[in-house]
Amino acid sequence: MKWITRERPKIDRIACPWLIRRFIDPTAEIIFAPVADISRLAVELEATPFDIPETEFTHYEDRCTFDYFLEKYRLTDPALHRLAPIVRGADTDNHALASEAAGLWAIAAGLAYNTPNDYELLEKGMLIYDSLYSWAKHLYKEKHTQSPTEKLLLQIFNTYIHQKESEKKKIPAWATELKEIIQDQMDTNLSLSLKAISEDLNVNPAYLSREFSKYFDNLTFGEYIRKLRIEKAIQLLNSSHHSLSEIAYLTGFSDQSHFTRIFKKYTGKNPSDYRKNLAKGKAGTKG
């Protein structure tokens, strides 16, 4: 038997051919055609139209064509009736009918987008509905997380993640004040001391050292200060004519050798090479 419907199928026009071939007529021929040609081709090819307005096999009341096939051919398989609201929900954008409907729509839309040939699309769709049927027949009661132990571990993990996210959101006053102190002193006093700062903040230095990384890019106090120094050095290399020894002094390093060693550790290049590359880049953008 031949069946004809509109081209570019997504939900009902894939689900119905699957239903026909798997439960009604295994040798059925499915034809996709432009909507303007369907009436003529249906007569010429002796094909039955479906999912076409004002034909027998189409939407009715709040049901879709898939539902009509189930009723017409008295298909009572419980698995098919578990699939029906999923297909209906995806086809009518009423995803509240079944939690799986939105997923089916997403898969069908993506598959149609990636597959321009309707007959190739149907073959891929057959596999999807075979899989859905297997789920509805054998697996619909199963959950992704099965055992009580897995569920408990998942609950513990989710609690831990929630706690960590909450901790990140609650930035203590001392961390906010410390960030302001560091920013204020970067241009004037780069010999910052954790002990001196802890006294200014009235916070125990051991506690400050332990908690610092939580609020400063997962870096220790020393690493964070060195990071700021290197960022400042890069700005000076890019925007000033200071010598390297002057930049070392302005960024709080004890000498140029120390500055060069730390700079290369962070950037992979020594300061002089870095400056040369900056100069080449600027020259290349002229004209």
Q: Are residues 92 and 188 in the same domain?
A: no
Q: Are residues 180 and 121 in the same domain?
A: no
Domain of 94, in residue numbers: 2-139
Report the CATH number that the domain containing residue 192 is assigned in CATH.
1.10.10.60
Q: Is 163 within the bounds of a domain? A: no
Q: How many CB atoms lie within 10 A of CB 6?
A: 19
Global model pTM greater than 0.85: no
pLDDT, tens digit (0-9, with 9 covering 90-100), for 16-42: 999 999 999 999 999 999 999 999 999
The tokens describing 194, both together, are: 């954790």
Q: Is 238 within the bounds of a domain? A: yes
Lowest average pLDDT, out of 30-39, 224-233, 240-249, 277-286, goes to: 277-286
SS (H, E, C) 149-205: HHHHHHHHHHHHHHHHHHHHHCCCHHHHHHHHHHHHHCCCCCCCCHHHHHHHHCCCH
The tokens describing 78, both together, are: 């419980």
**CA-angle at 111, arms to 10 and 35, nearest 5°:** 35
Q: Are residues 124 and 177 in the same domain?
A: no
Q: Which of 114, 139, 164 is the last residue of a domain?
A: 139
pLDDT, tens digit (0-9, with 9 covering 90-100), for 183-194: 777 766 556 778
Q: Are residues 122 and 12 in the same domain?
A: yes
Number of domains in the chain: 2
Q: Are residues 9 and 127 in the same domain?
A: yes
Q: Is 149 within the bounds of a domain? A: no
The answer to whether the Cα torsion of 88, 90, 92, 94 is positive or negative is positive
Q: Are residues 180 and 120 in the same domain?
A: no
Burial category of 221 from C-beta neighbours within 10 Å (exposed 0-12, middle 13-18, buried 19 and up) = buried
Residue 211: the pLDDT is: 86
